[in-house]
Amino acid sequence: MSRHLYFVCPTDNLEKLIEEKYPQENYYLTSLGNSIKFSNDFIVEINGLIEAKGIEKVTFVLSKNNHFILDGIKSKQFSKIRELKEFYAIISEKKNDCSKSYKEENIQTLITSYFLNLKIKELSLNLFNWISPKVDIDAKLYNKEKNSFSQVQIDLLEPSSVFLN
């Protein structure tokens, strides 16, 4: 049986849906809006968990309408939460970048995808050398209207993703 570690936001309530869609040995770590920070101690714990449980795949998952991404884009009601200050600052910066080039209705998906891609990169850089080749890391976006998970696309907010002729 495949073993899978999911990083989820507790407000999205995706664990049951993941269990139904991907019935395997699943493990979960939660953080608000997947704003998790990979401190040295936490990285050691994650590497230990992956090794001890034989985890083969790690997936960062957020709902397309994640409360914390939405709040960071709009009202910032939770901006006083210390752990979210840096998260919200990045959302504001990316919102400004997006509003110059993209339609408003696409901004939320672009910012969510940006964060998920960022978490993939951060975790990839922090896995121990002997664990990294054994673990596949990806990200999914859940669409409630379609009741489906989709792979997060290339990060359109990164300058390296723009191809100019």
**What strands, in cross-sheet order, belong to the sheet with 25-30?**
25-30, 3-8, 57-63, 136-143, 148-151
Task: Mark residue 76 as left, alpha or beta (left: phi above 0; alpha: psi -120 to 50; beta: remaining).
Answer: left
3-161 homologous superfamily: Carbonic anhydrase (3.40.1050.10)
For position 155, what pLDDT does the model report? 60
Q: Which residues pair with 142 in a beta bridge?
A: 63, 149
* Residue-wise pLDDT tens digits, 16-52: 999 999 999 999 999 999 989 899 999 999 999 999 9
Q: Measure the CA–CA gap between 98 and 68, rounded to whole angstroms.
A: 18
Q: Measure the CA–CA gap between 20 and 14, rounded to whole angstroms.
A: 10
Per-domain boundaries in the chain: 3-161
For position 163, what pLDDT does the model report? 39
For position 77, what pLDDT does the model report? 84
pLDDT < 50 stretches in the chain: 159-165
